[in-house]
Every structure is written in C-alpha cells, then in structure tokens.
Amino acid sequence: MPVPPIIYASGVVLEGAAAYGLRQREFRVVKKAAYYAAGKVYRDVIIPRHFGEQAAGRYGYQQRSKAYRRYKRIKRGHGRPLEFSGRGKQDAMTNVRLIATSNKLTVRIKAPVFNYRRSANAPNMREELQTVVNEDIGDMNRAFREGFRKVVQTVARRHKVRYRLRAG
C-alpha cells in the first residue's frame, strides 16, 4: 500500500553525539553524510523503479484508459505508466538534486513533464513519481544506517589518531 512521499530516513533512532564518542559538530557531519547516502539510493534505485512495467500496481498509480494504453502500446511499443516518449523519464533520472542537512534530506527533480495536467481527471504524475512504499523506505533506512556507520568509523578513527595521549 502506498504511503505519502517521505524523502528521509524515517524510523532511524539516533542517540546523542556523546554516545558515538563524537563532538556535536562531527555528529552533524556524520548525519548529513548518512542522509546523502539515503538520497543516493532514492536517486539511483527508487526513481528507476517508478518507470517499470509493474510500477502502476506497486505504487498505486491512477488507472489509465484502455484506449490510451492500447495507443501507447502501438505507437511507442511499451506499457510503462509514467513514460510516453521518454523525455520525462530522462529528465527525472538525470536532473536530480540531493540537498542533505544534518536534519533532513530534500530531493529536487527537475522534470517539467510531470507538473503538467491537462484536466482534473488526468493522472497527477508528479504525485505518482513522489510516492514511496514501505520497501523503498526500508531501502533508504538501510542506506542511512550504513552511511552513518561508515562515516562514524572514519571520524572515530581520525578522532583517536588526532587526540592520542603521549606518555611522558
């Protein structure tokens, strides 16, 4: 069942900076890198899933008319729901901007084709492209945790070397 668009690693509970042996500033850098890792999964894995043949059922897209589906099969040779000529898909796959802060991730997709609706009954393709399902959120959470773990280890290693006590 589709859930509203959530473009952040939800359900990840983080303790304070001290729990990881980091200063607050280092902790913010680590969180930012982890959100960016989750954004890369969204860009590289989740967006392409929206253009597959089974995406309509998976993400709960509005049903296209039978005549339109037939016309697209004959004219374009495919039945992918968010794609007609391929221009929108190309834009959505290449014009993605990830903006990560220590508190959230914002994904901006520059694809004007998805902002256009010719009538009130036409599918809202922008909303369809933004929809994520629980599996997608799980993938982003895993990437967030993995990115967090890698950066914490890197920073902690650097931290230990930098602040080594000298015997004497």
Please write the tens of the pLDDT for every residue from 63-118: 888 888 888 888 888 877 887 787 888 888 888 999 999 888 999 988 887 777 77
Residue 168 lies in a domain: no
pTM for the full predicted model:
0.78
Look at residue 26 in the predicted model and tell me its pLDDT. 85
CA 90 remoteness from chain centre: 17
pLDDT band at 11 (very low <50, low <70, confident <90, very high): low
Kindly state whether residue 10 falls inside one of the protein's structural domains: no
Domain that holds residue 121: 17-162
CA distances from 34 to 5, 12, 143 (A): 19, 11, 7
Domain contains 117: yes
H helical segments located in the chain? 24-41, 47-49, 55-59, 66-76, 87-94, 125-130, 134-162
Cα atoms found within 13 Å of the Cα of residue 39, Cβ hemisphere only = 19
Cα separation, 86 vs 77, in Å, equals: 12
Q: How many domains does the chain have?
A: 1
